[in-house]
A = this chain, B = another copy of it.
Amino acid sequence: MEAYRVLEIKQSVFENNDREADKLREELKKDRVFLLNLMSSPGSGKTTTLGKTIAALKDEFRIGVMEADIDSDVDAAAIEKTGVKVIQLHTGGMCHLDAGMTRQGLEGLGVQDVDFAILENIGNLVCPAEFDTGAVKNAMILSVPEGHDKPLKYPLMFSICDVLLINKIDVLPYFDFDIEKCKEYVWRLNPRMKIIPICARTGEGIGEFADWLRSEIKAWNGEA
């Protein structure tokens, strides 16, 4: 039997998503919960990255994961194996999560015993960028096979994120991916973006991401 719940979340009724997102962030601040929103294209390696990141941090933080998907439970089943609390959110076809939907997810997960909550958003570089989920920080993954030109084509996503993980660097020899050009494109849109090359499969670079998260979580809790 699975240890995770599946929650069908409903479209939000709030007219002003930005206001709802700010309200959610204030509540998270009060409750000392750090919420990370993780976004990428389908197949960039969000779940594998998450698994390795959880392994690096689960002895320091009480972690809770919300796996958003249109239909399947594949990701919750994978994360469940790490031993942390996880809930599968089904969006019923919706291509993104907004603050109201994220709130439903957090209520379903239960954050009274969580200090680090993670939302794995729908695999999509377009729509999730347009909706503030209420997360404290936004992270994104771009994988090497997708190409270094993606910041030119999906500029909003690269503009609203705080950290970019360039994943699958182990296959750099087989692809035409110019990491310096990628950084240049990203920083032109978003000069403050933290960029970390990683290989989620082998764990390379996950330590640096964990360091970044650790320091952001401390800052959020006023311990920096």
Partner-B contacts on A (CB < 8 A) = 41-43, 69-72, 74, 93, 95, 122-127, 130, 143-147, 149-150, 152-156, 168, 170-171, 174-175
How far does the alpha carbon of A200 sit from the alpha carbon of B71 in the complex, in Å? 30
Top 7 closest pairs, chain A to chain B, by CB: A43-B146, A145-B145, A95-B126, A72-B152, A41-B42, A41-B41, A43-B147
How far does the alpha carbon of A5 sit from the alpha carbon of B7 in the complex, in Å? 46
Chain B hits for A171, CB < 8 A: 145, 171, 174-175
- CB-nearest residue of chain B relative to A122? B126
Chain B hits for A146, CB < 8 A: 41-43, 145
Chain B hits for A126, CB < 8 A: 70, 93, 95, 122-124, 127
How far does the alpha carbon of A58 sit from the alpha carbon of B130 in the complex, in Å? 39
- CB-nearest residue of chain B relative to A167? B145
Pair A127/B95 contact, Cβ less than 8 Å:
yes
- A42 touching B153 in the complex, CB below 8 Å, given contacts A123-B125, A124-B126, A145-B145: yes
Chain B hits for A43, CB < 8 A: 41, 143, 145-147, 150
